[in-house]
Structure 1
Amino acid sequence: MIKIQGSSRLVNRGLRGLLASAVAGAAAVLLPVAAAVPAHAVVGGSAAIRGQFAPIVSIQKGTAQHSCTGTLIAANRVLTAASCADGTTAAALKVVAGRHHLSGTTPNQQTVEVAQIVKHSGYQASTHANDIAILKLKNPVTLDGIYVALADLPTSSAGSPTGNVTVAGWGATREGGPVSDSLQWTEIPTVTNTQCKTAYGPSAIYPGMICAGVLATGGKGDCTSDAGGPVLKGRLLVGVHSWARGCGRLLSPGVSSGVSHYRNWIDANIS
């Protein structure tokens, strides 16, 4: 689950007015970022069209309908966050591919049991370092290329993504709210490692972490139960969502495990 500190919602308009000078001062030490789009339903996102994110899967833990999110990188392999497998066993997890709504059953939906959890050996729950894992499925899903497909992976030399990225999931659409019944998505700008360290403190950002969010105003980003979900550049899976301070708060970008950084680890553990 995404670690949420505090229970306050995004700053309201009145409070934003009072904090304008503080935000301006903080923004002065940050590089320019894209302006926020007003939130209208992930936080600040829109309902996805069925098949828009064919590689995405819903991860069920125990009797829960939806616990975390993941991405198909092979017919029988799912890339997700190591935190999604904390305190559980492979026998307690199921992966649902081709899912669009959490309620009912989506046509072409496939539910597969998990045979093995492979967490990064350097994963630390307290710091979110190396928050990445592979779920090995008992049986492969059927890839139809429309509703169930594989994500592309960047090379190990690709480096951190720049520009806008897309995040998607069934997480809460507001901080403190319930999960969304329909798959949501939104586009947010990446922020530099320096900007991310300014937001969270130098000791909070570890090698391999990448950050994205609307720093100046907030209003968009991953939320509870979006952990493990994809950060995409088109069909290229550039990140696996790990944590954030709240949901789409200003000066609080989402932090993900960069897939390029972990590509060699993925290749070594995917078989």
Structure 2
Amino acid sequence: MLLLLLLASAFLLLPWAGAGRIIGGWEAKPHSRPYMAYLSIRSASGNNQCGGFLIRPDAVLSAAHCVAGKMKVNITVTLGAHNISKEELSQQKFHVDHWVIHPNYSEDTHANDIMLLKLKPKAKLTKEVNYILLPSDNERVGPGTTCEVAGWGRTSQTRANSSVHVLMEVNLKVQSNEVCEEYFESYVHQSMLCVGDDYGKKSTWRGDSGGPLVCNGKAHGIVSYGRKYCIFPKVFTRVLYFGPWVRKELRKFALQDLPDSPSSD
């Protein structure tokens, strides 16, 4: 298995490795993933983008590394988008002024790479805007499970101008924990998922961070990190592990909406 992985890594810079979509995917059917959120992030250090996903009319999940360590952060969340370069009638935009990064997030090890954003006002649920369910306690995904990931990130590993405006998607398989333990010293199987295409032709890439890994119709992972110049394997935040933290923060959101309730901002 190790030999196969090394061979796959050796060929990552061949033309096909950077060709195609998301990398190696295709354009999603417009509005077929109504939970998808596009995060436009402005800060003192520059502008960047991330993905995210709606889990409740007032809450979006994403990756902590999208904003961690940045100063003077301004976030705009767009829901109901397919082509983010256009003002589509289906789009709903929110200027977010309250978000919560997991208190134990580490920029060094990428541990606890999860963030919850509060939408105010709440999103209006439509055909193009809807939430996705999170896995329940007994719903774990094992190696070999085929899942889906989508995003507006780059479609090429090598071309700097490979950003796209339409939502792209790709199928990826859950890998055994041993695959990621081989490459990442800080990989923790309880809170992370090892995912990718072991042929090296399909992957998420820059700009896809924070988007959901959808398995069996539920959001099981969040695009987190990978090796600097390689597209396999990728590590996703394991949503199931963070269920208690998410529920606790959602309860705080609800308290903030009560009359005369103090804000935690």
Same fold (TM over 0.5): yes
Of 211, 216, 220, the residue aligned with 2:202 is: 220
The 8 Å contact of residues 160 and 260 in structure 1, kept in 2 or not, is answered as no
Aligned: 1:190 with 2:193: no
Matched-pair contact (CA < 8 Å) for 2:141–2:215: no
CA shift for structure 1 position 76: 1.0
Hey, what does 1:150 align to over in structure 2? 131
Structure 1, 82-91 or 258-267: larger mean CA deviation = 82-91
Q: Distance in 1 between matches of 2:18 and 2:75?
A: 36
Structure 2 gap ranges (5+): 8-15, 252-265
CA distance in 2, matches of 1:109, 1:237: 22
Verify the 8 A CA contact 1:190 1:213 in the aligned structure 2. Answer: yes
Q: Which range moves more in the overlay, 37-46 or 148-157?
A: 37-46
User: 230, 250, 253: which one pairs with 1:270?
Assistant: 250
Is the CA contact (8 Å cut-off) linking 1:221 and 1:247 kept in structure 2?
no
CA distance in 1, matches of 2:206, 2:115: 18
Residue from 33, 39, 51 that aligns with 1:59: 39
Question: Which amino acid letter does the alignment assign opposite residue 81 of structure 1?
Answer: A
Deviation at 1:103, TM superposition (A): 1.1
Look up the equivalent residue of 1:175 and give its one-letter code: Q
Give CA deviations for 1:50-76 in whole Å, capped at 9, x if unaligned: 111110010011288861000000111
Give the 3-state SS of the residue equivalent to 2:241 in structure 1. coil
SS across alignment from 1:152? coil
Task: Answer yes or no: is the 8 Å Cα contact 1:76–1:141 preserved in 2.
Answer: yes
Match status 1:204 vs 2:189: no
CA contact (8 A) 1:83 1:125 kept: yes
Instruction: Output one character per residue of 1:99-121: Cα deviation in whole Å (capped at 9) or x when no partner.
Output: 11121212210101113111111
Change (3 A) 1:172 1:160: same
* Aligned twin of 1:231: 213
Is 1:126 paired with 2:113? no
| Equivalent position to 1:48, from 28, 32, 43 | 28
Residue matched to 1:4: none
Secondary structure in structure 2 of the residue aligned to 1:62:
strand
Tell me the SS of whatever aligns to 1:131.
coil
Structure-1 residue corresponding to 2:153: 171
The within-5 A match list for 1:104-119 is 104-119=86-101
Match of 1:33 in 2: none
Cα displacement string for residues 202-232 of structure 1 (whole angstroms, at most 9, x for unaligned residues): x2202301011112x2011110010000100
Q: Which of 1 and 2 has higher RCO (CA within 8 Å, sep 6+)?
A: 1
- 2:261 — aligned with what? none
Deviation at 1:38, TM superposition (A): 10
- Give the deviation of 1:86 after TM superposition: 1.7
CA distance in structure 1 between the partners assigned to 2:83 and 2:59 by the alignment: 22
CA RMSD in angstroms comes to: 2.6
Please report the TM-score for the alignment, with normalisation by the length of structure 1.
0.80
SS at match of 1:86: coil
How far the C-alpha of 1:246 sits from its partner, in A, is 4.5
SS at match of 2:173: strand
Q: Give the Cα–Cα distance (whole angstroms) in 1 for the partners of residues 177 and 247 of structure 2.
A: 25
CA distance in 1: counterparts of 2:246 and 2:165, whole angstroms: 31
Residue 85 of structure 1 is matched in structure 2 by: 67
SS of corresponding position for 1:270:
helix
In the TM superposition, what is the alpha-carbon distance from 1:235 to its structure 2 partner?
A: 2.6
Q: How many residues align structurally?
A: 237
Aligned equivalents of 2:224 and 2:201: distance in 1?
Answer: 18
The alignment's TM-score, normalised by the length of structure 2, stands at 0.81
Rounded Cα–Cα distance in structure 1 between residues aligned with 2:73 and 2:47: 15
